């Protein structure tokens, strides 16, 4: 049931921002269009270039935006800037109201989330997680990813048999979401019976990184975050009582310099690792399938030379970035790209637009699986906040896409699909495809 407290929190956190953005957008403020313009949310590529035409640092009523790759790279690594936290940059009266009415729930943009803290806390949390999610541990997951993809594709092959359905499936529901959820659940000790809950909570809470939400969307987000909080607390307690060989059980026992994460820190870190471990990979797989089906010439190149798949994943991350933007707050007066950024001002870093910077990428609008420097993209952010799950996402993207197109070489789009109604995250909620005839499965776990 809706409470006055919830209404007041939405008003402080989103309602005023939404109204102010509408007013500013009518007066030409480009940043305000990120909140108000549905065309920017649906197809942002033209907006990237419109921003680029205004120079490396675009002034807005509340700060700056940058689409410049060099500036983005610098800001992500600068000690003169910190991450933004939920509500921290609201005007003082709204900031007071937001904090007084905020629900007692973990949130990805509130401490002690890794996304919302800086050193020394961030250093300790990240070292603790890295001690468990080592490069060797992640590299050893490839065989499991291969096996999971094969199992899911076997299920999809049933839809192309004479006794199956007509071969039209929502590939996001049946594959793009199922693969990363199965993989991260196995890693983090989530029982199979709970995986549908993770999907549901993830879908509901995906807009939690956005500002200026409408009232109904805000309610859905709060419902998702609350459900995930409750489930996560119970899951961690179960693993404490019944530890397994999974990495989450190891994380519970892990410590940095003899100091373990306390219960709130553990829930925040575990929740972010779990959510981020599948959410962006769902988008990577969906975006990749859509791009490749729109560029059959690139699929032909990959079919002729499968060794190009890792580079193709980097190009997908560059051209259709699952995470579109991030932001940093100036700790001190700084000069960036010729603009003076005052202490406390926000710079929105448009990662997806920086990934199309012509100063770095030749013919940046072109999808080219042979692009030699595609890995220079900033889709995983950078610096101390570089995505911990980047290596796993790359493995899942390469294995998931390669196996899918190998098994279904005749697959075609079967409808327009439905984009995610979010601004920070970009992906597909639904993407119907006609699978066509399934090739015989020749992929053994661990094969290439």
Residue-level pLDDT at 202:
86
Query: What is the average pLDDT across 285-310?
Result: 98
Q: Let me know if 142 is exposed, middle or buried by CB neighbors in 10 A (0-12, 13-18, 19+).
A: middle
Domains located in the chain, CATH noted: 4-434 (1.10.630.10)
Query: What is the average pLDDT across 44-66?
Result: 96
Is residue 448 over pLDDT 80?
no
379 Ramachandran zone, left/alpha/beta (phi>0; psi -120 to 50) = alpha
Is residue 137 over pLDDT 90?
no
Query: What is the average pLDDT across 28-52?
Result: 95
Binned at pLDDT 50, 70 and 90, residue 441 comes out as low
Which pair of tokens denotes residue 295?
């560029």
Is residue 241 over pLDDT 90?
yes
Residue by residue, DSSP assigns 332-363 as: S-EEETTEEEPTT-EEEE-HHHHTT-TTTSSS
- Does residue 140 or residue 59 have the better pLDDT? 59
Is residue 162 over pLDDT 60?
no
Residue-level pLDDT at 79:
97
Query: What is the average pLDDT across 365-390?
Result: 96
Read off the pTM. Answer: 0.94
Whether 132 contacts 250, CB under 8 Å: yes
Is residue 316 over pLDDT 90?
yes
Mean pLDDT of the chain: 92
Is residue 358 over pLDDT 90?
yes
Residue-level pLDDT at 255:
67
Residue-level pLDDT at 163:
40
Is residue 443 over pLDDT 60?
no
Residue-level pLDDT at 198:
87
**pLDDT tens digit sequence for 5-22:** 999 999 999 999 999 999
Q: Could you give the CA distance from residue 414 to residue 181 in angstroms, rounded to a whole number?
A: 25
Residues constituting the chain: 448
């Amino acid at each position: 049931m809706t409470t006055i407290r919830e209404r007041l929190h939405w008003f402080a956190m989103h309602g005023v921002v939404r109204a102010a953005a509408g007013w500013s957008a009518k007066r030409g403020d480009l940043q305000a269009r990120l909140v108000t313009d549905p065309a920017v949310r649906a197809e942002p590529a033209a907006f990237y270039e419109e921003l680029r035409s205004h120079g490396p640092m675009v002034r807005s009523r509340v700060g700056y935006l940058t689409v410049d790759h060099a500036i983005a790279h610098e800001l992500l690594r600068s000690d003169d800037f910190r991450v933004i936290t939920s509500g921290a940059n609201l005007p003082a009266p709204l900031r007071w109201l937001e904090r007084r009415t905020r629900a007692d729930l973990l949130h990805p943009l509130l401490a002690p989330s890794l996304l919302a803290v800086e050193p020394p806390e961030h250093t300790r949390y990240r070292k603790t997680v890295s001690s468990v999610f080592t490069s060797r541990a992640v590299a050893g997951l490839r065989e499991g990813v291969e096996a999971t993809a094969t199992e899911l594709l076997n299920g999809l092959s049933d839809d192309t048999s004479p006794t199956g359905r007509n071969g039209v499936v929502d590939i996001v529901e049946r594959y793009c979401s199922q693969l990363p959820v199965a993989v991260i659940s196995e890693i983090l000790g989530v029982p199979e019976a709970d995986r549908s809950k993770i999907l549901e909570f993830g879908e509901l809470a995906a807009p939690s990184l956005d500002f200026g939400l409408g009232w109904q969307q805000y309610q859905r987000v709060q419902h998702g975050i609350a459900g995930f909080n409750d489930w996560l607390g119970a899951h961690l307690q179960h693993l404490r009582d019944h530890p397994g060989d999974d990495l989450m059980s190891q994380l519970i026992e892990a410590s940095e310099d003899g100091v373990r994460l306390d219960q709130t820190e553990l829930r925040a870190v575990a929740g972010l690792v779990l959510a981020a471990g599948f959410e962006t990979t769902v988008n990577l797989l969906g975006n990749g399938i859509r791009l490749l089906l729109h560029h059959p010439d690139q699929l032909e190149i990959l079919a002729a030379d499968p060794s190009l798949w890792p580079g193709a994943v980097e190009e997908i991350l560059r051209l259709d970035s699952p995470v579109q933007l991030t932001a940093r707050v100036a700790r001190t007066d700084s000069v960036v790209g010729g603009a003076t950024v005052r202490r406390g001002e926000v710079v929105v870093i448009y990662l997806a637009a920086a990934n199309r910077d012509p100063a770095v990428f030749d013919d940046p609008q072109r999808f080219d699986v042979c692009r030699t420097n595609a890995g220079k993209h900033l889709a995983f952010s950078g610096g101390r906040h570089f995505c911990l799950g980047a290596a796993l996402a790359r493995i899942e993207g390469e294995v998931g896409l390669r196996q899918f197109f190998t098994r279904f070489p005749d697959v075609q789009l079967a409808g327009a699909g439905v984009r995610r109604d979010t601004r920070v995250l970009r992906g597909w909620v639904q993407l119907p495809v006609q699978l066509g005839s399934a090739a015989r499965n020749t992929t053994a776990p661990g094969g290439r």
